[in-house]
Structure 1
Amino acid sequence: MSSPTAQRLSVVPSAFAVEHLPHATFPEDDEWIALVRAPEGLTVVREAWPSGSGERWIGLYGAAGAHDLDVPGMLAAVVGPLAEAAIPVFVASTFHADLVLVPEPRAEEAVGVLEGAGHRVDTRHLRS
């Protein structure tokens, strides 16, 4: 890894759905992965059902070793190349790493872009 912000990422085994609940303050179930409450409503990230309708997202997550919260540029190093390739993202950050979601139909392209930017991506859970 040439850049100090180059990362080892892993494709998360699950596919995700991102929902906006404009009038909710909390989801009606506990099947969620991440919640973000904002003035315009609640954003919910949950595991997508295989037969579910709507857009499915594939997750990329820091695979080995967390980075400290004070390390600058870690998220930018991942989303920057994806933005340059016009690949949409949705991000949910944790204490240890960032879960970067990309649309399922663009997952293989996203992996190629990230590897081209110097990141290493474990694709064993990537569905073709």
Structure 2
Amino acid sequence: MAGSQRVRIVPSQFVVEHLPNSTFPEDDEWVALVRAPEGLTVVREAPPWGDGERWKGFYGDGSHGLDTPGMLAALVGPLAEAAIPVFVASTYHADLVLVPDHRVEEASGVLREAGHRVAE
């Protein structure tokens, strides 16, 4: 099971969009895509003029093998216990754990209390 992790707060703000009738976005300004039967989920950097909920991301500083159990659970478990919503986009090397922008400080504290090292 995963123990303490070092994560950094990604400086960008993100938006999460659902495009029900798309299979690919019309632009290439996305960070992550997930295609499902219900449509396309797109994570992109938030434009400064946009409306909607903004998210901040925590991203692991160290790569881990895909066969290492519990890495994501070690991060989202404490956040769930603190009733902080998350959206996750996983990469080959680490997980991008998004939390609502207005709760990033609270989430940082929760992760630190759980034994993780959070870099600003």
Equivalent in 12, 32, 39 of residue 10 of structure 2: 12
Distance 1:24 1:51 in 2: 23
Distance 2:109 2:48 in 1: 25
SS at match of 2:77: helix
- 1:23 maps to 2:26: no
* TM-score using structure 2 length: 0.97
On the 8 A contact 2:2/2:74 being kept in 1, the answer is no
- 1:90 maps to 2:87: yes
Q: Which runs of 4+ in 1 moved over 2 A?
A: none
Segments of 5+ residues of structure 2 without an aligned counterpart are none
**What's the % identity of the aligned pairs?**
74
**Equivalent residue letter for 2:15:** A
- Aligned-residue CA RMSD in angstroms? 1.0
Distance 1:35 1:114 in 2: 26
* TM-score using structure 1 length: 0.91
Segments of 5+ residues of structure 1 without an aligned counterpart are 124-128
Distance 1:106 1:49 in 2: 19
- 1:104 maps to 2:95: no
SS at match of 1:121: strand
Distance 1:29 1:47 in 2: 13
